[in-house]
Chains A and B, each alone.
Chain A
Amino acid sequence: MLSWNVIVLTCLLYVAALFGVAFWAERRARAGHFGWMRSPLVYTLSISVYCTAWTYYGAVGSAARNGLEFAAIYLGPTLVFIGWWFLFRKLVRIAREQRTTSIADLLSSRYGKSSLIGVFVTVLAVIASTPYIALQLTSLSLSFTLFSDGSANSSLTAFWIAVGLAIFTILFGTRHVDANERHYGVVTAIALEAIVKLVAIASVGLFVVFGLASGPSDIFARPESAELLSADIFGPRWITLVFLSATAIICLPRMFQVIVVENVDERHLATAAWAFPMYIFLMSLFVLPIAIVGLNTMPAGSNPDLFVLTLPLASGANTLALVAFIGGFSAATSMVIVSAIALATMMSNHIFMPLWLRATAGTPSSSGDVRRILLISRRVSILVIMGLGYLYYLLAGDGGALASIGLIAFLGAAQFLPSVIAGLYWRGATRTGALLAVGSGAVVWAYTLFLPSFGGSLILSAETIANGPFGLGWLRPNALFGSAISDPLVHAVIWSMAVNITMLCVGSMMSRPRALEQLQAKIFVDVFALSAAGQGMSLGRTAKSEKLFELAQRILGREQAGRMFTEIARAQGKPSGLPDADPALTARLERALAGALGASSAHAMVSQISGHGTVSVPELIRMADETAQIVEYSHRIEEKSRELEISADQLRRANERLRAISDQKDAFLSQVSHELRTPMTSIRSFAEILRETDQIDPDQHQRFVTIIHEESQRLTRLLDEILDLSVLETGRTTMRRDPLWLDDVIRQALDATEPLMRRAGVQPDYAPGAEIPVLADRDRLAQVFINVLSNAVKYGLGLPPRIKVEAVQGPQEVTVTITDNGPGIAEADADRVFEKFSRLGEATLAGSAGLGLPISREIMRNLDGDLTLRSGEGGACFVITLPVVEQSAAAE
C-alpha cells in the first residue's frame, strides 16, 4: 500500500513540474520562440481537456453499469471532428477575424455585440459548470482518501487542491492582457497532462488485459461481459448521448477555449480532425476490459468508478496505481484550470467590465489603466469560480447525484448550440431570437433536469418533482404535458431543444435586426467569401487618431499600441506620426480591443469616443446578398416599366387628341378656303366681265355690281363670323351681364326674323308667360335666338310650317325651347349640328357659312348656359338654358 506521504509528495512534484513547464513555455513564447508550441500536436493534445476525471474514472463506472454506453460520450466528438471542414473551420476563422475570447463573446458579437447575450450566456455557463468543477474536486478528494488511512480530511484536501489550482490558473491564465487570448504556458501544461492521462490509462489497461487476464478473448469470455453487452442500449438514450457529447465539444466553455480561442493556425484543425478522435479512441479502448475485470475480480459492492485505481492496488502494483492516480489527477486539474480560465474570461468581459464601464461612463480618459482593472477582474473571477465550485462540493458532498452532473452540464451548454449554428449559417437569426432561445432553453433545462437533480433540496421540492407544482400533474418536471419518456435526460433534451429552437425561429422572424446586427450577421455567415475578397466591413464612424491611440494604450499597453498604430500608418503610406483616422482604423482598433475585453465591451468603449456610427449605403448594398439584390433590382425594373407603360399610354392618348385636333384644323382650313373661294370666284368673274366687255347694258351692269357687292358683303360676314368664333372659343371675350327680361329678348329676336318667317310662311307660336329675369348680354343673347330661329326656318319646314317658342323658369335654370315641325335631325347627326361648317345635307342658303350654331353654343357657354339639341318627337328641338337669377337682382 502506498503511503499518504508518497502520494502527497508525488502530487506536489507533479504540480511543480507542471508549473515549471508552464513557466518555461511562457518564457519561450515571450521571447518569440514558439517552435513546437505552435504545432498541431500540442493543439490536439490540449483538446483532450475534454477527458475529465468524470470520463477518466467515470467511463469505467459507466461501462460497469451500462456496457458500451460510455462510448457514446466519445463518439459524438468524433463525428464533429471528422466534419471539421464545415463547423470548426468556420468557427475558428470567425474567431480569429473577430478576436473572439469565449463562446459568450462569439454569441454577443454575432448578435450585434449585445452585452445582454454575453451576460445570459455567462450566467448559464457558470451555473452549468460549477457542479462540474465540484465533480472534479470530488473525484480528486475521493482518490486521495483511497490512499489515506482515514486521518485525512477530504474537504480540507479538496480545499487545498482548489487553492493550488486557483494559484496556477491566476499565474498562467492571467499573466498579461493580450489582443489575442492565448495562453502558451497553460496549453503546454495541458498537453503534458494529456500525455500523462493517456499513458496512465493505457498502462492500467495493458496491465489488466495482459497482466490480470490473458488477452481480450479471455476477458470477453467472462460472464460479466455477456451480462454487460446483452442490454439493449442502442435506443433513444444512445442517440441523446451522442448528440449531447457532440454538442459539448462545441459549446462547453473550456472546449471552445482550447479548440477555437487557443487555435493559432487553421491548418492545425486538419490534424486534430483525425488525431483527436484517435486520442479518445485510445482513451476508451481499455475502458470495457477494465470494467469487466473489475466486476469479475473485485469484491461485490466496491465502487466501479474507482476500478482504474483499485484494480492495480488490489494486485499489489503500487507504481502502476501511482501512475493511474496521477492520470486521474491530470484529468481533473486540466479540466478545472481551463474551465476556470474560460469562465473567468467570460465573467470579466461580460459582467465585471461592462459594470466598470458603466460606473466610469463619462470619464473615459481619467479612469486610468484599464489593463490593471482587467487583470484584477480576471483574477477575482477565477477566485469566484473556484470558490463556487468548492462551495458546491461542500454542499452537495460526495453524493451519488454527482455522477450525472457531467451530462447535466452538457445539456446546459447545449442551449447555446442552436444560436451558434444559426449565427454561423442563418443570416436571419436575430438578437431577440437568440436571447429568447438561450433564455427559454435554460429555463426548461433547469426545470426538467438541473433542479430535479438535487432531489428536492434546491428550489423544487421533492413533492413538486413527483407530482408537479401545485399538484398540476401535466407540469411534472420529468413528464411535461404528460409526455411518456422514461429517461429524464432524453425527456429534458427533447423538451429544452424543442423550446429553444422554436423560440429562436419565432423570435428571429418576429424581430427586426439593427444595422450593427445585420453587419455582424453578414460578416459571420459569409466569412470565407469576405476574407477571400479581402474586404473588411465597418461602421461609418471615426474619432481623432490621438483619442483612439490613447484608448489603445490604456488597454493594449504602450508598446503594443504603438506597434499597431505604426503598422497602420505605414500601410496608409505615412512615414511618421499617427495614422489617419478612418472607419477602417476604428474597426481594427475595436477588433484588437475585443481580443482583450470581448466584443461588446470593446464596442462600448470605442463608441464612447467615436459615436455609434451607421452602416453606409454601399455597405448595406453589399450586405444584401446577391439574391436579394437581384430581387430588389427586378422589383425596381418592374416598377419602372409599369410607370413607363402608364406614361406611354398617356402619350398615346395625347397624341390621338392632337391628331384629331390637327385633323379638325385641316378640315376647318379646307372648308374656310372652300367657303371663301365661292364668293371670291363669283366676284372675280363678274369683275372680269365688267372689265373686258365694253358695251354693256346699264341694267346688267347694275346687276353685276350688285352681285359683286353682295358677295363681298357675304365674304366680310363670313370672316367676321370666323373671327367671332375664334374669339369666343378661346374665351378671350368678356360678355356683359346686364339684368334683362327674357321676354323682351325673345320678342326682339322674333321681330328680327319676322321678314324671313313671313317669306317662308311660318307662323311663330309664342305665348309670353310670367316675367323671367336673366343676366346676359342683350345683343348676344338675341343673336343666339335669331340664329336658332333662322335655322328652324331654313331646315324645319313642315306642312303647315310652324315654330313653337317656350320659356320656362325651373328651379335650377331658365330654359327656352325652340321647336319646329320639320323632319327633325337624325340621332347620328345630333353632334354634327354644332360642328363648324357642317350643313346637314347640302342645302345652303346664302348669307350663312354654317357657323351660326357653333357660335351660338359658344355664346351660351360664355354666358354660363348651354345650347343643346333635344332629340325626340317630331321636328328638331333646340334647348337654350341660362342660370336662374334672383328676382331682386333683375329688378335693378
Chain B
Amino acid sequence: MSDADSLSTPARARRRRYDGAALLPIFAAIMLLPPFVSLFAGSQTLFGIPVIVLWIFGIWLALIAIAARLSRLLINAPES
C-alpha cells in the first residue's frame, strides 16, 4: 500500500493531512523568523497601522485558522 498510485482517495487525503500537519509549523517558522520577517520591518503603514504589526498578527491569525481546519480533519479521520 505504500505505492502512491494504489492509494484510495481517502487514504491519499489522509496522507495530505499528515503532510500538512508537518509543513504548517515549518511554514510558520519561515514566515515569522528572519530574514523573511525583516522584509516588513520598515516604517510603512497600512490604514494607519504599521505593516510589521499587521504582518505578525495577520500571520498569527491565519495560522490559527489553518490549524483549526487541519486539526478537525486530522482528528476526524480514522487513524491509519
Residues on A facing B (Cβ under 8 Å): 68, 71, 75, 78-86, 216-218, 220-221, 225-226, 229-230, 232-235, 238-239, 242, 267, 270-271, 273-275, 277-278, 281, 285, 288, 528, 532
Verify if B24 is at the interface (C-beta below 8 Å from A): yes
Q: Quick one: given A238-B34, A242-B33, are A271 and B71 in contact (CB under 8 Å)? A: yes
Q: Are B34 and A78 in contact (CB under 8 A)?
A: no
For residue A533, give the distance in angstroms from its CB to the closest CB of chain B: 12
Pick 25 A–B contacts, CB within 8 A, sort by A: A75-B60, A78-B60, A79-B32, A82-B28, A82-B66, A82-B67, A83-B21, A85-B21, A86-B22, A220-B49, A226-B43, A232-B41, A234-B41, A235-B34, A238-B37, A239-B33, A242-B32, A267-B75, A270-B74, A274-B68, A274-B71, A277-B60, A277-B67, A278-B64, A528-B79
CB proximity of B54 to chain A, nearest CB, Å? 10
B43 in contact with A230 (CB, 8 Å): yes
Contact A80 B25 (CB under 8 A): yes
B28 touches A285 (CB 8 A): no
Q: Are B64 and A229 in contact (CB under 8 A)?
A: no
Q: Given A78-B28, A86-B22, A235-B34, decide whether A270 and B75 contact each other with a Cβ distance below 8 A.
A: yes
Residue pair B60, A68 in contact (C-beta under 8 Å): no
Closest Cβ of chain A to B77, distance in Å, is: 11
Say yes or no for B53: interface residue by CB 8 A criterion. Answer: yes
Complex contacts, A271 vs chain B, CB 8 Å: 71
Q: A71-B56, A80-B25, A82-B25 are in contact. List 19 more A-B contacts (CB 8 A).
A: A75-B32, A78-B63, A79-B28, A79-B32, A82-B67, A86-B21, A86-B22, A216-B48, A217-B47, A220-B45, A220-B50, A232-B38, A232-B41, A234-B41, A239-B34, A273-B67, A274-B67, A274-B68, A285-B57
Q: Give the A-B pair count, Cβ closer than 8 A.
A: 100
Q: Is the CB of A81 within 8 A of B67?
A: yes
B64 lies within 8 A of A281 (CB): yes
B40 to chain A, nearest CB (A): 9
Contact B63 A82 (CB under 8 A): yes
Q: Report B's interface with A, CB cutoff 8 A.
A: 18, 21-22, 24-25, 28-29, 32-34, 37-38, 41, 43, 45, 47-50, 52-53, 56-57, 60-61, 63-68, 70-72, 74-75, 79
B48 neighbours in A (Cβ, 8 Å):
216-218, 220-221
Chain B residue at minimum C-beta to C-beta distance from A236: B34
Shortest distance from the beta carbon of A644 to any chain B beta carbon, whole Å: 34
A238 to B68, CA, bound (A): 26
How far, in whole Å, are A270 and B22 apart by their CA atoms in the complex?
Answer: 14
The docked-state distance in angstroms from the alpha carbon of A68 to that of B37 is 12
A68–B59 alpha-carbon span in the complex (Å): 14
Q: How far is the CB of A214 from chain B (nearest CB, A)?
A: 11
A79 to B30, CA, bound (A): 11
B33 touching A229, Cβ below 8 Å: no
Closest B-chain residue to A268, C-beta based? B75
Least distance between B22 CB and chain A CB atoms (Å): 7
Docked complex Cα distance between A262 and B47 (Å):
44
Question: How far does the Cβ of A378 sit from chain B's closest Cβ, in whole Å?
Answer: 35
B63 to chain A, nearest CB (A): 6
Asked if A79 contacts B57 (CB within 8 A), the reply is no
User: DSSP majority for the B interface?
Assistant: helix
A235 to B34, CA, bound (A): 7
Q: Residue of B at shortest CB range from A267?
A: B75
Q: Does the CB pair B38–A234 fall under 8 Å?
A: yes
With contact pairs A84-B71, A234-B41, A277-B63 given, residues A68 and B22 touching in the complex (Cβ less than 8 Å)? no
Known contacts A75-B32, A82-B24, A82-B25, A220 near B67 by CB under 8 Å: no
A83 touching B74, Cβ below 8 Å: no
Residues of A within 8 A of B37 (CB): 234, 238
**How many angstroms from the CA of A232 to the CA of B64 in the assembled complex?**
26
Q: How far, in whole Å, are A208 and B27 apart by their CA atoms in the complex?
A: 34
A85 adjacent to B33 (CB under 8 Å): no
CB neighbours of A218 from chain B (8 A): 48
Closest to A218 in B: B48
**How far apart sit A79 and B60, CA to CA, in the bound complex (Å)?**
10
A79, B32: Cα distance in complex, Å: 10
**Are the C-beta atoms of A274 and B50 separated by less than 8 Å?**
no
Query: Contacts A85-B21, A234-B37: A225 and B50 contacting too (C-beta < 8 A)?
Result: yes
* Residues on A with beta carbons closer than 8 Å to the beta carbon of B38: 232, 234
Point out which of B18, B32, B38, B43 has the most chain A C-beta atoms below 10 A from its C-beta: B32
Q: Bound state CA distance, A285 and B56, in angstroms?
A: 11
Q: A234-B34, A242-B33, A273-B67 are in contact. Are A281 and B49 (CB under 8 A)?
A: no
By the criterion CB–CB under 8 Å, are A281 and B68 in contact? no
Tell me which residues across on chain B come within 8 A of A277, comparing CB atoms.
Answer: 60, 63-64, 67
Cα-based distance from A233 to B50 in the complex (angstroms): 15
**Residues of chain B lying within 8 A (CB to CB) of residue A235:** 34
In the complex the two chains form, what is the Cα distance from A85 to B57 in whole Å?
Answer: 23
Assembled-state Cα–Cα distance A527/B57 (Å): 36
Cβ contact within 8 Å between A273 and B56 = no
Residue on B with the closest CB to A278?
Answer: B64
Q: Are A229 and B43 in contact (CB-based, < 8 A)? A: yes
Q: Which residue of B lies closest to A216 (CB)?
A: B49
Contact for A79 among B29, B50, B75, CB less than 8 A: B29
* B residues in contact with A83, CB < 8 Å: 21-22, 24-25
The answer for the CA separation of A503 and B37 in the assembled complex, in Å, is 33
Q: A233 CA to B57 CA in the complex, in Å?
A: 16
A232 to B71, CA, bound (A): 35
B28 CB to closest chain A CB (Å) equals 5
Evaluate whether A68 and B56 lie within 8 angstroms (CB atoms) in the complex, with A86-B21, A270-B72, A270-B75 already known: yes
**Which residues of A are found within 8 Å of B56, using beta-carbon distances?**
68, 71, 75
CA distance A82 to B61 in the complex (A): 12
For residue B21, which residues in chain A have a CB less than 8 angstroms away from its CB? 83, 85-86
Closest residue of A by beta carbon distance from B80: A532
B8 shortest CB reach to chain A, Å: 19
Pick the contact of A288: B45, B53, B68, B72 (CB < 8 A).
B53
Q: Which of B33, B49, B64 contacts A274, CB < 8 Å?
A: B64
**Among B29, B45, B71, which residue has the most Cβ atoms of chain A within 10 A?**
B71
Minimum C-beta distance from A87 to chain B (A): 9
Please, which residue of chain A has its CB at the minimum distance from the CB of B34? A234
B-chain residues with CB within 8 Å of residue A242 when the two chains form the complex: 29, 32-33
Min distance, Cβ B61 to any Cβ of chain A, angstroms: 7
* Distance of A217 Cα from B45 Cα, bound (Å): 9
The docked-state distance in angstroms from the alpha carbon of A274 to that of B56 is: 16
A232 → chain B closest CB, angstroms: 6
Write out the residue numbers on chain B whose beta carbons fall within 8 Å of the beta carbon of A82. Answer: 24-25, 28, 63-64, 66-67, 70
Q: How far is the CB of B58 from chain A (nearest CB, A)?
A: 11
- Smallest beta-carbon distance A733→chain B, Å: 76
Bound state CA distance, A80 and B24, in angstroms?
Answer: 10
Distance, CA A432 to CA B61, complexed state (A): 43
Contacts of B67 in A (CB 8 A): 81-82, 273-274, 277
A626–chain B nearest beta-carbon distance, Å: 14
Cα A242 to Cα B66 with chains together (Å)? 20
Whether A281 contacts B53 by the Cβ 8 Å rule is: no
Docked CA distance A757–B50 (Å): 134
In the bound assembly, the distance between CA atoms of A82 and B37 in angstroms comes to 19
A263 to chain B minimum Cβ distance, whole angstroms, is 14
Cα(A392)–Cα(B45), bound, Å: 45
Q: How far is the CB of A581 from chain B (nearest CB, A)?
A: 34
Instruction: Give the shortest distance, in Å, between A528 (CB) and chain B (any CB).
Output: 8
A273→B70 CA distance, assembly (Å): 10
Chain A residue with Cβ nearest B36: A234
Smallest beta-carbon distance A50→chain B, Å? 16
Closest 8 CB pairs of A and B: A217-B48, A83-B25, A274-B68, A85-B21, A270-B71, A270-B75, A82-B67, A274-B67
Closest A residue, CB atoms, query B59 = A75
Give the complex CA separation of A341 and B22 in angstroms: 33
Which residue of B49, B66, B75 contacts A217 across the interface (Cβ within 8 Å)? B49
In the bound assembly, the distance between CA atoms of A134 and B28 in angstroms comes to 34
A270–B69 CA distance with the chains assembled, in angstroms:
10
- Chain A residue numbers with a CB within 8 Å of B70 are 82
Q: Closest residue of chain B to A233, judged by CB?
A: B41
CA gap between A220 and B50 in the complex, in Å = 7
